[in-house]
Structure 1
Amino acid sequence: MTTSCSNIRVVVGIDFGTTFSENLGFAYANVANPEKIETNDIWPSKTGENKTNTVIRYDEKFELIQWGLPALAERTSKKDKNSTSNSSHKIAELFKLHLGKISYENKPPLPSGLDPKKAVTDYLREMGKLMKSTISARWPGLIYYQHVRIVLTVPVEYDEKIRFIMRQCAYDAELILTLESENLEFTTEPEAAAIYCLGNLNEHPLKVGDSFLVVDCGGGTIDLTIRTLLPNSRLSELTESTGDFCGSTYIDKEFKKFLGAKIGKSALKLVEEKHYPKLQYLIQDFCANIKLPFDGDEKNWQDKEIDIEEICPVIMQYVKGEEREELEGCEWVITLDFRTVKYFFDKVIGNILRLIREQLANSEKTIAAIFMVGGFSESKYLLQRVRQEFNRQVPYISVPSYPVTSVIKGAVIYGLKMDTIKTRVLKKAYGIELYRDWTPDDPIEKMDVLNDQKKILAFKKLAEKGTEVDVDQEFKNTSWPTFADQKVSSFKIYTTSKNDAKYCNEPEMNLFGRLGLELPDVNLGLDRPVEFTLTFGKMETRAFARSLKSGTTAKASFRLEL
């Protein structure tokens, strides 16, 4: 089940982007030459790019047909304007968003009957085939499941339960040999980006003890973390990492609303249903020619024209009534002026500024720099707005070199030197359900009577929310058997967003997992305390136990409650 760290010869970092604009990529390095991190640039039907599109095309039985760019966008010629698509094909994108805690109304549609976990698994499987062939070509004789460590990046919004689902998907996709394999590690996207920024600090005026904010500007999510530079190029986390669903793809959503107003909502719906790849070609054309170059300076602006008949003529057959008359009058050309495009951006950027503002307010230390990474960080208008808002508060605001690959390269660096991260800040309070004596301060309705003794099920806090902890910091508690011949014991582990919680049935209290303990030395009866230890600073909780009588290791198991 476990592979010794000394067996690891290659580290692969995977940045599983959310959308077609913030895509999937992987990078890798050999531990013998850790400075040479290579980024894959060969994808299906596409060479020379660091990432490919997070999209899958299925047939009617949900058998995978294509993945990446070939599954997404199709251009049609004018002679195809009355064509019909293969309606049996099903396009799945944005499926990773379904794993996150996003409101139902904001969840993007998936083909009916498709489990988002299947989509994640299928995509990882295809990517894994390419990854394995790439690595085996570079280093013949390498045994993949023994010699390769994978570091998978996830948004900060993904709690441990969602990360476990990602682990299950990686196992089902044959990226790891066993579900419990230690060859798979996780890091958050902004944490990986912060690690990448370490390699660029000699270019910036930062010194040991300084703190900096990393803003990972992705397609689906924006993730933020404040880190402090420690000696020996290590990092501690200063505040709780935060994030939200307000990436650059929400600009595309505003463009789609605008398009729907021009061609009619019913026409847009029919095009989405019948010609989705062709519609995506139009949206990608908008991204490449309008969204990415937009700098927010009206003096540099020239109105942009979108020729429907040239770029996406299949739309024409569905446009009716007043919309058709208007579009025919302008020869099927839609014009975008400066104010309209600026409107697409401003709501999204406003949310990013809010997130930055909240992070800076939560920090007790002065922030020396803001580093903006990810695909959306290349937006000149976004950088301009961030500098305009925060340049008096933060003296240095920068986009590091190669911001698009910062997360995957940071993931590789983390896999090569996993002690780079010294501390993390807990996003929840952790504790156990404990049967203790009832007191007059406890609610009478919660009292239970056992063997003529007043008892109550209470929450015993082990770790506080917002606490900065070492990644391997241990949180301990001691358990005694309830019965003289008891051989096993179990505890419910709860998490809560409140540090003052007292009972496990309070609002915002969630069952996190179950801890199982073996109670050795049965011959000692009740006098055989077992100390159990839980680590919450790692990306995945670990449990250990030992007998306080004999000092021997006791068997402990932790199982997430999914």
Structure 2
Amino acid sequence: MAGQYPIQSSGSKIVIGIDFGTTYSGVAWAATERPDGNVLISDWPSSRSTYGGFSSPKVPTRLHYLNSRQFEWGFQIPHTVPSQNILSLFKLGLEPDRYSRSIDVIGKSLDFDNVDKYITDYLSGIFGHLMNSLGRQLGLGTLRSTSIQFVLTVPAIWSERSKQRTIEAFERVPNLPEDHSTALLSEPEAAAVAALRELDRHNLKIGDSFVVVDAGGGTVDLITYTITALYPVLEVNEASEGTGDFCGSSRLNDRFIQLLKSRLGDEEGWDDDVLHDAVDHFERNTKKRFNMNSLTTNELFTIPVPGLDRNVDLGITRRGRLQLRADEVHMFFEPDILRIIQLVKDQVAVANTPISKILLVGGYGASMYLRERLQLAIQGDLSMGKDIEVLQPPNSWTAVINGAVLKGISLANPVNYDVPVVKGRGGRKHYGYNLGVPFNDGVHDSLRSKRYWDGMKGMWRVAVMQWIIKRGDLVSEDIPFTKDFYISRPVSLGRVNVATLEVYADSTSKEAPLAQNGNVQLLCRATANLDHIPEDQLDRRLGVDGIMYYELEFEIEAVYRSASTEYTLIHKGRRYNTVTAEYV
């Protein structure tokens, strides 16, 4: 009811966390006045004509198009729709080079050409349902008069361009409130914020390091954090670069489906309804129950296959009931369990600091079998340290959503001692720009063939990289990085109306290279419109060659956040809000 969550519209915000997942997505919200009152959306529309009807902490990330404009999403999609007509895993289309090989292995055929439209349409379904829910709980008047902060989560290992495409797809959702802002947050950081909040600080100490393993339906993301402060705010720094892979729990489902089709596909009565019931039971029951003891006793798991006749040779021991042995179920898990174990071992090695805990979060992170296998692997590897605990914090499936809301609360109210803070992050790449500097024989001899003559100052110059940050540098979004650069241009060629700076990134080189090479790739262009500056205020200088030049000096300010980067050009103390970053 509207009065259940009263908030004052003046000066308050509604913070909405959206976990746009590969297989399932979730939404939660809170008012900044009541930061402890997180409300998880758990009632989802079961058809296009209803507002609710299906209770779940998350909703499937699936689409079914009825025509070019109308679609069903999530639980709206009827069981009768053939699986080949349902779009799933389309989030991975933002990183086709990273995931296409793994997707091919499980026999999926995905349309990556229209992924941006799919994401916008799916998020518009989420948004429309969210607004209906908020309208019923807060009242439309309060909703319209209150500023909204969206926090959208993305995988940490994604490229800047993929993260930018995610936020662009969301901003294309129809009818977004005018008074809104959107921030990106990496999924493992969101999970870490939520998980840390649940830990007893009395059992923690400064210097403790822990690995967060965000194991979802599609991707598994890992990152290591070290505690730097406990009071008044729990603060951590990243201790390693994020890593990850496409080895989430949806691949178990795909292997299960492959087995069913190969074993039962020719049986009389087999159809999509049978497949749906079997997969639904496997997802909700079998995967969650399976553990090491199941394997030790070779437990039998019963899967509903309604309508199929008894066939003991196929494992249908009685009509409509398929039995699978634990050693068969084990093989659905095994390839990705081994991959996750290796990812954890690699993450511990990269962190190069003693690890006290591994925190498993996400839907797959709640698996008993995953936790048991990971704990056994750690205990059996003397190089990792036998005292590492593998923990599964409460509400692990919704940790990313809750962490996104907590992050939004901290953005709106930085003095909030109840929200853990990731204070410093490690630079995942070298970030910088090209700048012509005076040629130095001792430093630039390898670049001699690339030097050029600067007629304005009468000297040889050469283009080298000016690195804003280098890979591994500890960065904080509270402290921007600034660097100087300038633009010169003969006045005879016309005034300078636009300042453009091309920002480059190198994720391959261990040491930042002196000059641009094959590893240094164009990341984005930051531009500022200078049309408004009067002609007589543009600095000019007579060059050594007797030609008059415009000479404009700038600063570039860079802020590296959890899952986004902001670049601002500054000229004569003025910050240009017209700066845009076009990712390439």
TM-score by length of 1: 0.83
In the alignment, the residues of structure 2 paired with residue 27 and residue 374 of structure 1 have an alpha-carbon distance, to the nearest angstrom, of: 15
Distance change in 2, residues 1:464/1:453 (3 Å): same
Q: After superposition, give the CA deviation of every residue in 1:182-228 in whole Å (9 maximum; x if it has no partner).
A: 71111111101111122212177212332222111100011112222
Distance change in 2, residues 1:56/1:441 (3 Å): same
Aligned to 1:122: 121
Contact 2:434 2:465 survives alignment (8 Å): yes
In the alignment, the residues of structure 2 paired with residue 290 and residue 172 of structure 1 have an alpha-carbon distance, to the nearest angstrom, of: 39
Letter paired with 1:367: I
In the alignment, the residues of structure 1 paired with residue 202 and residue 68 of structure 2 have an alpha-carbon distance, to the nearest angstrom, of: 50
Superposition pairs of residues 431-442 of structure 1, within 5 angstroms: 431-437=432-438, 441-442=445-446
In the alignment, structure 1 residue 99 sits paired with structure 2 residue 99: no
Q: Any unmatched runs of 5+ in structure 1? A: 75-84, 317-323
Aligned to 2:188: 190
Superposition pairs of residues 444-483 of structure 1, within 5 angstroms: 446-447=450-451, 455-483=461-489
Structure 1, 218-227 or 208-217: larger mean CA deviation: 208-217
Aligned to 2:394: 401
In the alignment, structure 1 residue 343 sits paired with structure 2 residue 331: yes
In the alignment, the residues of structure 2 paired with residue 223 and residue 328 of structure 1 have an alpha-carbon distance, to the nearest angstrom, of: 37
Distance change in 2, residues 1:518/1:53 (3 Å): closer
Distance change in 2, residues 1:175/1:162 (3 Å): farther
Aligned to 2:515: 503
Contact 1:227 1:235 survives alignment (8 Å): yes
In the alignment, the residues of structure 1 paired with residue 26 and residue 34 of structure 2 have an alpha-carbon distance, to the nearest angstrom, of: 21
Q: After superposition, give the CA deviation of every residue in 1:65-121 in whole Å (9 maximum; x if it has no partner).
A: 3211231634xxxxxxxxxx779x931111111112424333475676961111111
Q: After superposition, give the CA deviation of every residue in 1:297-353 in whole Å (9 maximum; x if it has no partner).
A: 234443234454537x9xx9xxxxxxx996599778654222221122121111111
C-alpha displacement at 1:482, in angstroms? Answer: 1.3
TM-score by length of 2: 0.80
Superposition pairs of residues 379-394 of structure 1, within 5 angstroms: 379-391=367-379, 392-394=385-387
Contact 1:218 1:247 survives alignment (8 Å): yes
Q: How many percent identity over aligned positions?
A: 25
In the alignment, the residues of structure 1 paired with residue 320 and residue 561 of structure 2 have an alpha-carbon distance, to the nearest angstrom, of: 57
Q: After superposition, give the CA deviation of every residue in 1:222-242 in whole Å (9 maximum; x if it has no partner).
A: 111222232412332121122
Q: After superposition, give the CA deviation of every residue in 1:484-535 in whole Å (9 maximum; x if it has no partner).
A: 645343221100112332333x233221111224676314535653222122
Contact 1:475 1:535 survives alignment (8 Å): yes
In the alignment, the residues of structure 1 paired with residue 182 and residue 577 of structure 2 have an alpha-carbon distance, to the nearest angstrom, of: 23
In the alignment, structure 1 residue 376 sits paired with structure 2 residue 372: no
In the alignment, the residues of structure 2 paired with residue 277 and residue 468 of structure 1 have an alpha-carbon distance, to the nearest angstrom, of: 53
In the alignment, the residues of structure 1 paired with residue 576 and residue 315 of structure 2 have an alpha-carbon distance, to the nearest angstrom, of: 78
Distance change in 2, residues 1:428/1:397 (3 Å): same
Structure 1, 149-158 or 39-48: larger mean CA deviation: 39-48
Local SS of the residue matching 1:243: strand
Aligned to 1:494: 504
Letter paired with 1:544: T
Q: After superposition, give the CA deviation of every residue in 1:376-418 in whole Å (9 maximum; x if it has no partner).
A: 1221111111111225444432111111111111111110013
Structure 1, 108-117 or 214-223: larger mean CA deviation: 108-117
Q: 2:527 aligns with which of 488, 509, 516?
A: 516
Distance change in 2, residues 1:249/1:202 (3 Å): same
In the alignment, the residues of structure 2 paired with residue 258 and residue 366 of structure 1 have an alpha-carbon distance, to the nearest angstrom, of: 42
In the alignment, the residues of structure 1 paired with residue 175 and residue 201 of structure 2 have an alpha-carbon distance, to the nearest angstrom, of: 36
Aligned to 1:82: none
Contact 2:489 2:551 survives alignment (8 Å): no
Distance change in 2, residues 1:362/1:524 (3 Å): same
Distance change in 2, residues 1:258/1:366 (3 Å): same
Distance change in 2, residues 1:545/1:398 (3 Å): same
Count of residue pairs brought into register by the alignment: 521
In the alignment, the residues of structure 2 paired with residue 433 and residue 277 of structure 1 have an alpha-carbon distance, to the nearest angstrom, of: 59
Distance change in 2, residues 1:175/1:429 (3 Å): farther
